[in-house]
Amino acid sequence: MKDRIIRQRLLNFWHAVFKSWYFRPALCVFLLLFVYTVFLSNASVWAHAPLDVTVSEKGEKSTGLHAIWHDERGESDIYTARQANELGEFRTLETAGSTGLSAGVFWSHFTLRNRDSQPTTLHIEYVDHQLVGLQAFSREAASGDLYHEISHLSIYEPFASRQVAHNRFVFPITIAPGVTQELMVRFDVGDLGVAFPSLRIWSPQALQQNSKGETSLIAFLFGGYFLMALFALVGAIAIKEKILYIYSFYCASKILVWGTVLGYTHQYLMTASSHWGYASLSGAVAIMAGLVFARTFLETRQFTPKLDVLLQLMMLNAAFLIGCVLLELKALSQISMIIALLCYPIVVPIAMTRWRQGENAAGVFALGWATLVLGLLVQAMRDLGFVVHNPVNYYWPPVASFVEMLAIMGAIGLMVQRLRLQKDRAEKKYLQQLEISKSDLEELVQSRTRELEAAKTRAELEARTDPLTGIHNRRSFFEESNRLLKLAQRKGISLGILMLDIDRFKSINDRHGHLIGDQALCATARVISQHVREVDVFGRIGGEEFALLVSADGPGTLVIAERIHRDIAKIMIKSAQGPVQFTASIGVAQLRGQGDVLELLQHADNALYRAKRSGRNRVLEYETVES
């Protein structure tokens, strides 16, 4: 009788509100503002010409949508993308900002022009989180130079390797005064995914300030989830109520899924690497927890047995999704996830059925669940490219999920009423502690990231450089040579190699000492470096032996070798015994057909060996030696 009176009063209240003279116009205005904010509003400017940038960018400019190329196989590199751009295969994105559910990689081409009178350092931010990897390449516009990689980001790489500590992909770029910089950006969505080739442009300070605001929002949401989970657990222990245990776990799963989806798990917990399955697994756990809670809270097994079958089937699909993720069956897990999200709205009419049966709390539950469904619908429309991506609809799903949990908490509020005072005290203490520790944590993370990046840069440089001469060491020479060889074979470029050895180097060490010998090696490296172009590879491959891989035909390679041979003979080093001069023997070989670097180096070494046997201080070509 009491429940019937409460239900009738609620119905009378809503009837009175809907009949009021001011409610309907206000509702229309609210809906129009909501539609504009979530679906249409977009403060970004999508550039079709060079975009003018300054040192004070605040994320109001975006680029990257006017020239998009889709490589469905996902095998393209910067050279392939550059060729596709030159052939006019880049097209304007026809959707509102998303590529839709696709496989492979997408490339974006755009230009930035620095109008300031000083160098401008910018942070280029990828607007979403659904991406496996991002590569950025840059060159000065209209220079004809090759693109050089300025950033390589991946969820599979350690978070500390990122150039900018941010939960989304961000890369820095510095543009000289008055210079127009041309960029190519590669978006890797994996086997199947969604990309948003829109990049926001920030100054480092503005991005940091914006990140603080976003972090505060997420911290608020996660703090709310944590408190709701904690209070429900305390209430469950106090009153031995099963529904509160399930609700507590459901709240905790929200922290897991949104922390993983938005990138904070990779940033703060699993910093070594991430994986595509983490988001799917956390989503599957949250779906399963929500369905178990809904089935228990609505008591469908007892009051709506036919509808309960639908919930059981949805739970079975969630369990299947968890199994597919654990077995790394990516295609099946994606299909199962789509089915789960499509079936999620079914819970709303089930809850409304229980409300019509007289369960008032089910009406509040239906309102909360419908809010979550609306958030997921907004995300789906944004991912499929029907609506523009903006900060409102980006954060609408987690906010809607938070509202859902609040509504559900209101539905079971009478069961935890005596814990409300404890909740308020814990929430106040938690927020105070959060404000105190937030700035310290951010400063610690940024400091540690800078230290790791500096150490990584030093280690990489030491691993690739000969410590005496400062040129490529043997390992680095072969890596760079193989890369140049593949490019030459693909584009039909002639390659030649010089194998150089200082004549009677041992006698220099024995007579003048190793210090003079080291100076001879350094002087030789400096002389050869004067003949090295940007497209050549030069390195010390052992002792007094040097190798130089040049982009030249046979006669051109011989000319370079003769010049180097002549200049080495002019080297003079002061010592206690008087000036030290020396000569060098050089073996030359030319790339023929589909040979590799080792074969080419062996030919040059044979020529060098014959030069040594023939009296030293000369240049011999491999073909001449063979004849």
Q: What is the pLDDT of residue 624?
A: 54
User: What pLDDT score was predicted for residue 605?
Assistant: 93
Please tell me the predicted confidence (pLDDT) of residue 449: 76
Burial of 272 (0-12, 13-18, 19+ CB in 10 A): exposed
Please report, as a single letter, which amino acid is at residue 430: Y
Contact 176, 217 (CB under 8 A): no
Asked if the model's pLDDT at residue 609 lies above 60, the reply is yes
* Domain spanning 474-626: CATH 2.60.120.260: no
Express as a percent the part of the chain with pLDDT over 70.
Answer: 89
Q: What is the structure's pLDDT at 1?
A: 46
Burial of 143 (0-12, 13-18, 19+ CB in 10 A): exposed
In angstroms, what CA-CA distances link 191 with 104, 329, 366, 518, 520? 6, 11, 36, 53, 55
Annotated catalytic, 544? Answer: yes
* Per-residue pLDDT reduced to its tens digit, 457-492: 676 666 778 888 889 999 999 999 999 998 888 888
Residue 336 has pLDDT above 70, yes or no: yes
For residue 56, give the nearest of 126, 114, 110 by alpha carbon.
Answer: 114
Residue 39: what pLDDT? Answer: 41
Q: What is the pLDDT of residue 291?
A: 92
Quick one: pLDDT at residue 419? 41
How many degrees, rounded to 5, is the angle at CA 434 between CA 244 and CA 253? 35
Residue 462's pLDDT is what? 65
Provide the CATH number for the domain formed by 51-202 in this structure.
2.60.40.2380
Pick from 150-164, 248-262, 374-388, 553-567: least confident:
374-388
585 touches 616 (CB < 8 A): yes
Name the residue with higher pLDDT: 39 or 402: 402
pLDDT at 540 exceeding the cut of 70: yes
Q: Tens of pLDDT along 411-463?
A: 876 444 534 555 677 778 778 777 777 777 777 777 777 777 777 767 666 67
Token digits for 331? Answer: 């295609």
pLDDT score, position 172? 95
Contact 276, 305 (CB under 8 A): no
Residue scoring higher pLDDT (441 or 357): 357
Q: What tens digit of pLDDT does each residue of 587-596 get?
A: 999 988 777 8
On the question of pLDDT at 16 being above 50, the answer is no
pLDDT at residue 440, rounded to an integer: 72
Q: Which of 299, 544, 621, 626 is catalytic?
A: 544
* pLDDT of 45 over the 50 cut: no
What are the extents of the domains in the chain? 1-40, 51-202, 212-440, 474-626
Mean pLDDT of 353-378: 87
Task: Please state the φ and ψ torsions of residue 443, each to the nearest 5 degrees.
Answer: -65, -40
- Closest listed residue to residue 68, CA positions, set 85, 95, 92: 92
pLDDT at 537: 93
Over 60: is that where the pLDDT of 352 sits?
Answer: yes
**pLDDT bracket for residue 549 (50, 70, 90):** very high
- The reported pLDDT for the residue numbered 23 is 36
Q: Tell me the mean pLDDT in the region 34-57.
A: 59
Give 96-133 pLDDT, tens digit per residue.
888 888 888 999 999 999 988 899 999 999 988 878 89
pLDDT of res. 489: 87
**What is the Cα–Cα distance from 495 to 192, expressed in whole angstroms?**
40
pLDDT digits (tens, 9 = 90+) for 61-104: 888 778 999 998 888 999 999 999 989 999 988 888 888 888 88
Question: What CA–CA distance (Å, rounded) separates 430 from 450?
Answer: 29
Is the distance from CB of 58 to CB of 76 less than 8 angstroms?
Answer: no
Q: Which residues pair with 70 in a beta bridge?
A: 106
State pLDDT tens for residues 176-221. 998 999 999 999 987 778 888 889 999 999 999 999 998 899 899 9
pLDDT tens digits, 292-318: 999 998 889 998 999 999 999 999 999
72-91 CB burial, b ≥16 within 10 A, e <16: eebebebeebbebbeeeebe
Q: Are 469 and 521 in contact (CB under 8 A)?
A: yes
Stated pTM of the model? 0.56
Helix (H, G, I), strand (E, B) or coil at 624: helix
Average pLDDT, the chain: 84
